[in-house]
Amino acid sequence: MQEPFQNTSPDAIAATPLIVPRPDHGISRANISENALKVLYRLKQENFQAHLVGGGVRDLLLGHEPKDFDVATDATPEEVRQVFRNCRLIGRRFRLAHVHFGREIIEVATFRGTTTSDGDENDRQMENGRILRDNTYGTIAEDALRRDFTVNALYYNIADFSLIDYADGLEDIKAGRLRLIGDPEQRYREDPVRMLRAVRFACKLGFTIEPQTEQPLFELAHLLADIAPARLFDELIKLFHSGYGLGVFEKLRQYGLFGELFPATEDCLAREDQGFPLTFVSRGLANTDKRLHEDKSVTPAFLFGVLLWEPVRQRFEEYLAGGEAANEAMFLAASEICARQHALVAIPKRFSLPMREIWSMQPRLEQRDGKRPQRLVTHPRFRAAYDFLVLRAESGEADPELAAWWTRFQEASGQERATMTEGGAKRRRRRPRRRKTGDTAGPGTEPTGVVERGG
Ligand code: ATP
Ligand code: MG
């Protein structure tokens, strides 16, 4: 969803844009979704301005396949609704029209205009996410300069198929450069989520963040505390399920943004002396990236399970040492870490519940006697919990022999399974040896990171 663009200094508004005529740019209608074209043509027919804008134009210019197509117009949301039967208006603070074509949604945004700031009080309210005037409509020139990065502010005009560039976005695309429009610090303060967007686009596009756009990232991480936890969850999914999650993680840590979002995890990573917590997160993210590149399913339950595991594990060990039984220790540790995390990033229940199941199954996977293993493999979350264990073993935190045992158990026949679960009483509960590098040999199976069944 497009986010509010506010309060760019009027000085920044370029009076005359660069207009690149149809023969001089590489955007072809053949690469634009049919539905997006329908929306553009229909608006034009009704004598409105209609442009493709944002990530769609940017990605087409870079030769990438756009994730979605956004349209900008001078028609108000109500006017857009009158033109399209299959249209819904969404959002209160930032009103938008969604035109539905089966599963494809074309987002149509009305040009945003200049909002005149009345000073501090207004700015503060905006920092807290309470935007007073988010639906002031304006001209295309104003709209362009309220967008975040120059490369996201290019318009493809359906009237003559030209490209319109108010912010030197084309130059930045050619240079592989991510640059905020206007004064970077002011733009981050207006909407701190732009810091996360900077990291996401830098990783996804392989662009360098221009120094003035980059500098405030080292200093403004604390502003994320003011963002609604539900919005942060959405943004984190875009960041970590982009296919470039490992790079994103490294950059977020470099700027101190990760610690703001996952303070308990960052504490563990910052004082770790054994290597495996970092190895575990990195491997988990690399694995998710790989799955995404192979078009396999991924789920936030596994992702957040990985990101929060180390603080959960440490609290679990402390509760164990304090005399709690394993199940109870895990329950207490998970509840504690989840409660702290929830105040920052709201993980919806449909993901946090399976995430906690993945964790609570970790100690249960150590019990290999009698009927328990047979019951455990039929658990809906078994596959994810097993993948999680494999990841732990590969990072040097869990016993590789245990992971290998479960690999064999899944492949074994009924008779073999019975034999495997017989020797229980004699089997020692081996505590894994902690390794410096975390580079243990895996149990011979690639962890998949799957959680959804049948994925
Ligand atoms: P992608 O869809 O590939 O993730 P995108 O650039 O299209 O990237 P969207 O979130 O779909 O990103 O937003 C569409 C456009 O709306 C952006 O390109 C940008 O012009 C504008 N936009 C979105 N969020 C913001 C924001 N927080 N501040 C300013 N402009 C924004
Ligand atoms: Mg988009």
pLDDT digits (tens, 9 = 90+) for 139-155: 999 999 999 999 999 99
**Residue 438 resides in a domain:** no
Q: Of the bound ligands, which one is closest to the alpha carbon of residue 194?
A: 1
Please identify, by atom number, the ligand 1 atom nearest to the C-alpha of residue 197: 27
Please write the tens of the pLDDT for every residue from 171-223.
999 999 999 999 999 999 989 999 999 999 999 999 999 999 999 999 999 99
**Residue 49 resides in a domain:** yes
Pocket test for ligand 1, best of 7, 105, 148 (most atoms within 8 A of CB): 148
2 lines ligand 1 (CB under 6 A): yes
**Cβ neighbours for 253, distance < 8 A, ≥ 6 positions apart:** 259, 266, 269
pLDDT at 130: 36
Instruction: Report the alpha-carbon angle 146-148-149, nearest 5.
Output: 125
143 lines ligand 1 (CB under 6 A): no
Q: Return the DSSP state at 85.
A: T
**Residue 440 resides in a domain:** no
Q: Higher confidence at residue 106 or residue 116? A: 106
Please tell me the residue having the least CA distance from ligand 1 atom 5: 55
Ligand 2 mean position, distance from CA 2 (Å) = 7
**Residue 340 resides in a domain:** yes
Indicate whether 127 and 226 sit together in one domain. Answer: no
Indicate whether 364 and 218 sit together in one domain. Answer: no
Among 257, 278, 312, the domain boundary falls at 257
With bands split at pLDDT 50, 70 and 90, how would you rate the model's confidence at 44? very high
Ligand 1 mean position, distance from CA 258 (Å) = 21
* CATH number, position 419: 1.10.3090.10
**Cβ neighbours for 436, distance < 8 A, ≥ 6 positions apart:** 274, 275
Please identify, by atom number, the ligand 1 atom nearest to the C-alpha of residue 194: 27
Indicate whether 60 and 155 sit together in one domain. Answer: yes
**Residue 3 resides in a domain:** no
Average pLDDT, the chain: 87
Among 136, 165, 181, the domain boundary falls at 181
**Nearest residue to 262 (alpha-carbon basis) of 331, 196, 332, 345:** 345
Indicate whether 148 and 242 sit together in one domain. Answer: no
- Sign for the pseudo-dihedral over CA of 69, 70, 75, 80: positive
Indicate whether 247 and 330 sit together in one domain. Answer: no
Pocket test for ligand 1, best of 152, 181, 186, 213 (most atoms within 8 A of CB): 152
Please tell me the residue having the least CA distance from ligand 1 atom 6: 55
Indicate whether 160 and 207 sit together in one domain. Answer: no
Among 238, 257, 276, the domain boundary falls at 257
Indicate whether 176 and 209 sit together in one domain. Answer: no
51 lines ligand 1 (CB under 6 A): no
Identify whether the C-beta of residue 391 lies closer than 8 Å to the C-beta of residue 306: yes
Please tell me the residue having the least CA distance from ligand 1 atom 26: 3
Please tell me the residue having the least CA distance from ligand 1 atom 3: 55
HSE of 198, CA atoms in CB hemisphere, 13 A: 32
* CATH number, position 189: 1.10.110.30
Average pLDDT over residues 74-93: 93
* CATH number, position 37: 3.30.460.10
Please write the tens of the pLDDT for every residue from 261-297.
999 999 999 887 667 888 899 999 999 999 999 999 9
Indicate whether 361 and 407 sit together in one domain. Answer: yes
Q: In the chain, pLDDT over 90 holds for what percent of residues?
A: 75
Indicate whether 133 and 203 sit together in one domain. Answer: no
**Cβ neighbours for 283, distance < 8 A, ≥ 6 positions apart:** 391, 394, 395, 447
**Cβ neighbours for 158, distance < 8 A, ≥ 6 positions apart:** 37, 40, 41, 43, 44, 50, 51, 52
Indicate whether 154 and 207 sit together in one domain. Answer: no
pLDDT at 105: 96
Global pTM reads: 0.87
**Residue 330 resides in a domain:** yes
Task: List active site positions.
Answer: 68, 70, 148
Q: Of the bound ligands, which one is closest to the alpha carbon of residue 66?
A: 1
**Residue 413 resides in a domain:** yes
Indicate whether 172 and 195 sit together in one domain. Answer: no
Ligand 1 mean position, distance from CA 218 (Å) = 22
148 lines ligand 1 (CB under 6 A): yes
Indicate whether 70 and 84 sit together in one domain. Answer: yes
Average pLDDT over residues 357-373: 93
- DSSP line for 130-188: --S----B--HHHHHHTSSBGGG-EEEETTTTEEEESSSHHHHHHHTEE-BSS-HHHHH
**Residue 339 DSSP SS3:** helix
User: CA 162 to CA 315: how far, in whole Å?
Assistant: 59
Relative to beta strand 177-178, strand 208-209 is parallel
User: CA 316 to CA 387: how far, in whole Å?
Assistant: 20
**Residue 362 resides in a domain:** yes
Ligand 1 mean position, distance from CA 3 (Å) = 7
Please identify, by atom number, the ligand 1 atom nearest to the C-alpha of residue 1: 10
Domain range enclosing 241:
183-257
How many structural domains does the chain have? Answer: 3
| Cα dist from 79 to 47, 48, 83, 89, 100, whole Å | 11, 10, 7, 11, 16
pLDDT at 56: 96
With bands split at pLDDT 50, 70 and 90, how would you rate the model's confidence at 107? very high
